[in-house]
Amino acid sequence: MTDVPSIQKFLKQPQTIEELDIPQNILIDIVLRLLFNEGNVNFRRFTQVIRVPHVVDSLLEWMKGEHLVEVLAGSGGIGRLGYVYTLSSAGEARARTAMERSQYVGPAPVPIHQYIQAIEAQTLNKANIPAEKVEASLGELILPANFHRRIGPAVNSGASLFLYGPSGNGKTTIAQAIASLIAETEPIWLPYALTAGGHIIQVYDRLVHKEIPPQERPFTDIDGRWGLFRRPAVVVGGELRMESLELRFDPITKIYEAPLQLKANGGMFLIDDFGRQQVSPSDLLNRWIVPLEEAVDYLRLNNGQTIVIPFRQLIIFSTNLDPYELADDAFYRRIQMKVNITSPDLARFQEIFHLMCDELQIGFEQPSFDHLVENWYQRDGRDLQAVHPRDLLRIVKALCEYEHIPPQLTPDLIDEACQSYFVEDSQRR
């Protein structure tokens, strides 16, 4: 998936401020803010935070010559690497000004154009996940024969996927399986932060980005502004707002937070419960038309500057609503693959029920299963759902444990479990 020579050129450890390819003042401000926040800072701490040791070493020497920082007396027993730095009076004044511009303290940012080239180099080739691996990832679900053939091509192409159908039949579980498949592919190099128009954009999100330990990385002596991560998976549901898809500026810290789709670049972005967000489906869909068609996204800074970033991720929409109540053919033409996750038929429902009995160590009893189907589905016209066996059998097991009896399946226990589970239906009975 990665053009190795292309990505390696971005990972070479920088030796000079010119090789960082960012304005020197950005790095000076980070150094000043770190000293302002922590007081006395040794060189090891600078390295841990800013991640570019050679550049910071020469920058501190320059700042010392400009009387912005001072070396504490008694430090430096092992040369400059042992120095402990503190702000001078002039440095403190300049640090306060730096704090007014931004409160960002962290790894030196990567220029936006390098990020674009790096993402493109790492998404140049399609994934090549074998069919048997895709099928195995769906193994915990009882699905129609060859169902994996409807999922695998979408994952490998990295295009777009629309999952729809009645609730409780595995759409979210299928999406989670896809996320696991993507995470197991070749990891991706991502920057912790970006800079554009003199502003800092925080990309790293500990809830999204799972870092590969340094000892497992294929390259050594790399630019510390980049981390190696498992391919990200961003999952959102009804809480999604339009502002989560734009650069979010914190007026206190004066730092931009990357939108969700930027955090998901190189991986997967799942919009679950599509149609139940606090914004209209049409507004949400219109937001994706350009990214889906052109594979780029346009983000705007507060000063009006627009930046263009790659849109290189598998985007999945999942809904249990009628697709044509959400969008029209014009939108669905832009979604390459649509998969209807249907309710199971009786034979597949029994197979799921039997499997869950084995998992929960409850002996399967055909008469009790027939009682369930006849009295709680066929008589009431209730749809079979793949999630019901798991939920009902968990209630049965809880009832048995409450009575201090071995887990078992009886018509009476089935009725009691259904009366607890199907609240509205049981009130009509």
Domain 346-428: assigned CATH number: 1.10.8
Kindly give, in sequence order, each residue whose CB lies less than 8 Å from that of residue 218, ignoring residues fewer than 6 positions away: none
pLDDT at position 427: 45
Residue spans of the domains in the chain: they are: 23-105, 112-340, 346-428
Residue 233 has what pLDDT? 93
CA angle 216, 221, 222 (to 5 degrees): 80
pTM summary value? 0.87
Provide the pLDDT for residue 331: 79
pLDDT at position 4, please? Answer: 63
Residue 77: per-residue pLDDT: 59
pLDDT tens, residue by residue, 59-116: 999 999 999 999 997 666 566 778 899 999 999 999 999 999 999 999 999 999 999 9
Contact between 296 and 309 under an 8 Å Cβ cutoff? The reply is yes
CATH architecture of the region 112-340: 3-Layer(aba) Sandwich (3.40)
* Long-range contacts of the stretch 39-43 (C-beta < 8 A, 24+): 39/86, 40/72, 40/84, 40/85, 40/86, 41/84, 41/85, 41/86, 42/75, 42/82, 42/83, 42/84, 42/85, 43/80, 43/81, 43/82, 43/83, 43/85
Which pLDDT score is estimated for 424? 63
3-state secondary structure of 191: strand
Handedness of CA 322, 328, 331, 335 (dihedral sign): positive
- Assign a CATH topology to domain 23-105: Arc Repressor Mutant, subunit A (1.10.10)
Digit-by-digit pLDDT tens for the chain (429 residues) are: 666 667 787 788 999 999 999 999 999 999 999 999 999 999 999 999 999 999 999 999 999 999 999 999 766 656 677 889 999 999 999 999 999 999 999 999 999 999 999 999 998 877 788 899 998 888 878 888 889 998 888 888 877 899 999 988 989 889 889 888 888 889 999 999 999 999 999 999 999 999 999 888 887 788 999 999 999 999 999 899 999 999 999 999 999 999 999 999 999 999 999 888 888 888 888 888 889 889 999 999 999 999 999 999 999 999 998 888 888 777 787 787 889 999 999 999 999 999 999 999 999 999 999 999 999 999 989 999 999 999 999 999 999 999 999 999 999 999 999 999 996 644 444
